[in-house]
Amino acid sequence: MHKSTKYPKLEKARHGIKSYRRFGESGSVVMENIKDILPQIRVKLQNFD
């Protein structure tokens, strides 16, 4: 293994960084929940205009 390919792995180990799954069951969304909360999000976003 070349030194440059080891570097990220060593840095992750040194700093305690772990790999997490980006998608999967936790990435699934219930569209009904989004439809219910979307108006509230839009109201909050209007404060940032």
Q: For the chain, which residues make up each domain, given as ranges?
A: 3-46
Taking residue 27's Cβ as centre, other Cβ atoms within 10 Å add up to 8
Q: Is the pLDDT score of 19 beyond 80?
A: no
pLDDT in tens, 27-49: 667 778 888 889 999 999 998 86
Q: How far apart are CA 5 and CA 41, in angstroms?
A: 43
Q: How far apart are CA 16 and CA 9, in angstroms?
A: 10
Q: Which residues, 6+ apart, have CB-to-CB distance to 19 below 8 Å?
A: 12
C-alpha dist (Å) from residue 49 to 19, 20, 40, 41, 45: 36, 34, 16, 13, 7
